[in-house]
Structure 1
Amino acid sequence: MKRRMFLCASFAFATLASAALAGQVPAKVETPVTINYYNYNLASTGNGAAATKRLIAEFEAANPNVKVNGVGVPSSDISTRIQADVAAGHGPDIAQMVFSDLDFFVNNLGAVALEDVVPSAELAAHFEGISPKGLKLGVYNGKTYGLAYTFSTPVLFYNADLFRKAGLNPDQPPQTWSEIKVAAKAIVDKTGQDGLATGIFGPSAGDWLFQGLIRSNNGGVLSADRKTLIFAEPAAVEAVSMLHDLYAAGVYSNLDINAAMDGMAAGTVGMYLQTSAIQAYLVKGATGNFDLRATTMPRFGDKPVRPNNSGSALVIMSSDPLKQRAAWELMKFMTSKHAYTVITSEIGYLPLRTDIVNDPQYLGNWVKEHPLVQPNLKQLEALEPWESFPGPNYRQIAKAMMDGAEQAVFGGGDPAQAMKTAQDTAQALMPKSTN
């Protein structure tokens, strides 16, 4: 019965998507319209919600015919909520999509390709100035379904005061995982504080940071043809084994994601690898208490770092041409020079419009005063997409992978066997037609 309902819902979504391909949007919003905007920043309690609400208010003031009904939905619930609400007849017209949901949004939720509804010249004009690496993140089968919005790369935050107390040079932070181990051991031995924590594991962590770790060792999680999981292959296992070695050496603390963030903000953690979206929180804790700095994600020996993104894209979900135009106008505003100035300076995400970084009208002066953003900007040049797993079981596939990796790192068993068991479990959840 459940499968039958799912197939019916999928058919409904496909019908909506087909309707959206009928023609392009009107040139302007000339009659009043209300659009539903599902946004996970609105569901937060920090700077993300406040900044997003202000941007929406500014958009409405500049576009009096458009009323935006902002709906806060946690990132982990976005796709489930949309599926339920569309089936009930009141889904979003535009949504903030986590990149790992891309495959599901396109194939099951009726996401609309921008090239199918927005005039090509207008689309090209808006894309101008946006990082080409960022634009590729929301492309599926050659079309832009998601316009990159709020995201970052993995940043290694570190406490320069603890470095000094441990006899380390804070002006030369570790750049490889081997150097991380040496620095973390010195911090543990000489200060008694935690040497290293990461945001890789935990219920709210997702798998984006883990994917970047594996990729930086020239591994992967999914084959190029999207049929076979590969996170138990030697390169991936070697990356996981490295974390296991750090934990076994007593320099990598098994802290949950909130405890790790709080510890870094309180000055009791030496190094913390995590999204830059928490930068504002860490800066608030460090100000007047300790010297907070940041550097790029560690590499494996001489292999180049291959970071992937966290975060989200904006996706048009409506099949109504007027609402599509209103959603596109909101999308343009939320990815404008002004919006990215707010998003970067007040929340901590990357400015995808890199031409504003040195422009004093936008981020120029702020960037000079906030050097923590530099590692993120540097890694934008090497950015690779967060892989979205195929099929309706994509979240269970990611969970099986992450549960296996967590067991491999902290469980005390053989990392190769733990990853092989997890991969076998996850492969059984892949779409049968692609096996």
Structure 2
Amino acid sequence: MSPSSIVRTPMNRRGFVSLAGSAAAGVALTACGSSGSGSAKTVTIEYWHQFSAAYGGAAMEKLIAKFNKQNPGIHVVSSYKDAATQPLQLLQPTFIGGATPPDVGAIYFGSELLGFMANKFPYTSVDQLADKFSGKDFLAKMPTNMLQAAKVGSTQVGLPLYAAVLMGIYNVDVVRGAGVDPASLTTWDQWRAAARTIRRRTGAPPLWIHLDSTDNWGSQTLVESNGGRFVECGPDGAKAAIAGPAGVEAIEMWTGLVRDGLASPSRSAAAQQAFMAGRLPVVFTTPGLYGTFKSQAKFEIAGTPAPSFGSKPQRLPIGGKLMVCFARDERKQEASWRLMQFLASPESQAALDKATGYLPVRQDVPSPADAFGRLGVKQAAFAVPRQGFPGPQGPQAAQALFDGMVTLLNSRTEVKPALAGIAAKVDGLVKGQPCR
């Protein structure tokens, strides 16, 4: 069901309690709503972000201070919210307790999460904001693939804030010390051969492919880059497509790396710790970790593009965050829209890219100073919208697929029948839901 672009009425306490129960499967979002009244001359809006003091927070606070200085009629109060906590859970006490939620916030690009939010929470669409307060010229300068990723149906629900596509980050000392030059590696077959060389030096699996939370980002990137899709349209509506030939081949490649001792099936936190300790030389994950690794690692690091499957064109499902506004007061809507455009401007995007490693959501940013930033800008051109499972049980479907993939990677089960079983579970949860 496509969301309406109108501003919906606020949920009452009972309505949110019901929603909170259905969100226990791990829906991750941050929303926005009307905040304090401010003075007659100054509009005060609240902005929630997920940049900690040690991870891009200083850059974000500088941007907010700059915005406040440039817009004397608006005062933005920004707050850091722990990215490791499901943001919906953070908002539950606010809604249930009758407090006022923030005006501007960020939600994940994940399709089922965005679709779930758009159908359950009151929001003001970007379409409306641009119509009411101008901004169509601004939107015309945004890349089509980035805007498309922030849509549900035909509605521009949010405005991209920062992006991520799967990229490689590697320990230069270990990888090049093993005689491997990542600049010469472009395919998964080439990386498999290189991994064998690196393993002879390290004695441990040298690769890791993103496996975190329930977002299925790593598996979806592999399937899409191999020419497949995560979701397709069947006689009964949406259904999982991971068990198709392209999906089976892509996941067989991943499980093969794990079973041959060339890739670790660890979850994200363990993989990050192993990388920082120098035990895991190559991670294919979010570029957002680059800034943290670079500031804390005791060795040189560098980046490399996500490998392809031979000559098949790259399709890199987008990660990162987009900004959504729930403001219902017109003055707050206008102020929120100004802030959203400011944070998506070339200058702000360049500052966030430099501080975190996340990719800019537009191509007209000043050229990044380091090689990883320049590589990220090029990789962003291959970004495609995330495919997710529609309907109220979309998050549960994503959880079922993720749990199945974790089990598969940590077993010797044959891939094709295992994926068929995972797809059947997903189909049971999304049967009858319309295709997007």
The two structures share one fold, judged by TM-score above 0.5: yes
Following the alignment from structure 2 to structure 1, what is the Cα–Cα distance between the partners of residues 304 and 433?
A: 43
Question: Which residue in the other structure is 2:153 paired with?
Answer: 141
Following the alignment from structure 2 to structure 1, what is the Cα–Cα distance between the partners of residues 289 and 205?
A: 19
Identity %: 25
1:123-138 to structure 2, matched below 5 A, reads 123-138=135-150
1:341-380 to structure 2, matched below 5 A, reads 341-358=350-367, 363=368, 366=369, 370-380=370-380
1:109 and 2:121 aligned = yes
> 311, 314, 334: which one pairs with 1:325?
334
Question: Which residue in the other structure is 2:41 paired with?
Answer: 31
TM-score scaled by length of structure 1: 0.83
Preserved CA contact (<8 Å) 2:183 2:304: no
Gaps of 5+ in 2: 1-12, 20-38
Question: Which residue in the other structure is 2:66 paired with?
Answer: 58
Following the alignment from structure 2 to structure 1, what is the Cα–Cα distance between the partners of residues 284 and 161?
A: 22
1:178-200 per-residue CA deviation (whole Å, 9 max, x = no partner) reads 1111111111112335411122x
Preserved CA contact (<8 Å) 1:217 1:300: yes
> 236, 241, 259: which one pairs with 2:252?
241
Question: Which residue in the other structure is 1:179 paired with?
Answer: 190
| Aligned residue identity for 1:330 | L
Question: Which residue in the other structure is 1:154 paired with?
Answer: 166
> 181, 188, 201: which one pairs with 2:199?
188
**3-state SS of 2:308 partner:** coil
1:11-410 to structure 2, matched below 5 A, reads 31-41=41-51, 44-75=52-83, 77-82=86-91, 85-86=94-95, 88=98, 90-100=100-110, 101-119=113-131, 122-172=134-184, 174-199=185-210, 201-203=211-213, 206-224=215-233, 227-286=238-297, 289-290=299-300, 292-358=301-367, 363=368, 366=369, 370-410=370-410
Q: 1:45 to 1:418 in 2, by over 3 A?
A: farther
Preserved CA contact (<8 Å) 1:240 1:408: no
**3-state SS of 2:163 partner:** coil
In the TM superposition, residue 313 of structure 1 has moved relative to its aligned partner by 0.4
Following the alignment from structure 1 to structure 2, what is the Cα–Cα distance between the partners of residues 255 and 393?
A: 27
Question: Which residue in the other structure is 1:22 paired with?
Answer: none
Root-mean-square deviation (CA), in Å?
2.7
In the TM superposition, residue 9 of structure 1 has moved relative to its aligned partner by 7.1
Preserved CA contact (<8 Å) 1:97 1:314: yes
Preserved CA contact (<8 Å) 1:154 1:209: yes
Preserved CA contact (<8 Å) 2:160 2:321: yes
**3-state SS of 1:315 partner:** strand
**3-state SS of 2:164 partner:** coil
Preserved CA contact (<8 Å) 1:82 1:109: no
In the TM superposition, residue 413 of structure 1 has moved relative to its aligned partner by 1.3
Q: 1:7 to 1:259 in 2, by over 3 A?
A: closer
Preserved CA contact (<8 Å) 1:115 1:123: no
Question: Which residue in the other structure is 1:19 paired with?
Answer: none
| Aligned residue identity for 2:158 | G
Q: 1:298 to 1:30 in 2, by over 3 A?
A: farther
Preserved CA contact (<8 Å) 1:391 1:430: yes
Q: 1:73 to 1:391 in 2, by over 3 A?
A: farther
In the TM superposition, residue 120 of structure 1 has moved relative to its aligned partner by 7.3
Question: Which residue in the other structure is 1:13 paired with?
Answer: none
Q: Report the structure, 1 or 2, having the larger helix content.
A: 1
1:413 and 2:425 aligned = no
Q: 1:181 to 1:259 in 2, by over 3 A?
A: same
Q: 1:405 to 1:325 in 2, by over 3 A?
A: same
Following the alignment from structure 2 to structure 1, what is the Cα–Cα distance between the partners of residues 277 and 385?
A: 32
| Aligned residue identity for 1:351 | P
1:16-57 per-residue CA deviation (whole Å, 9 max, x = no partner) reads xxxxxxxxxxxxx9732222323223xx35222222222222
In the TM superposition, residue 234 of structure 1 has moved relative to its aligned partner by 2.4
Moved more, 422-431 or 381-390: 422-431
1:264-322 per-residue CA deviation (whole Å, 9 max, x = no partner) reads 334332321011101112222446x33x2221111112212211111110011112111
Which 4+ stretches in 1 moved above 6 angstroms?
7-10
Moved more, 59-68 or 425-434: 425-434
1:208-262 per-residue CA deviation (whole Å, 9 max, x = no partner) reads 2321111011112112586222222222122111111111111112333123223
| Aligned residue identity for 1:423 | A
Following the alignment from structure 1 to structure 2, what is the Cα–Cα distance between the partners of residues 185 and 144?
A: 46
How many equivalent residue pairs? 398
Preserved CA contact (<8 Å) 1:351 1:357: no
TM-score scaled by length of structure 2: 0.83
Preserved CA contact (<8 Å) 2:239 2:426: no
Moved more, 78-87 or 127-136: 78-87
Gaps of 5+ in 1: 11-28
Q: 1:267 to 1:220 in 2, by over 3 A?
A: same
| Aligned residue identity for 1:115 | D
In the TM superposition, residue 126 of structure 1 has moved relative to its aligned partner by 1.7
In the TM superposition, residue 394 of structure 1 has moved relative to its aligned partner by 2.5
| Aligned residue identity for 1:62 | Q
| Aligned residue identity for 2:153 | N
Following the alignment from structure 2 to structure 1, what is the Cα–Cα distance between the partners of residues 276 and 118?
A: 38
Preserved CA contact (<8 Å) 1:240 1:409: no
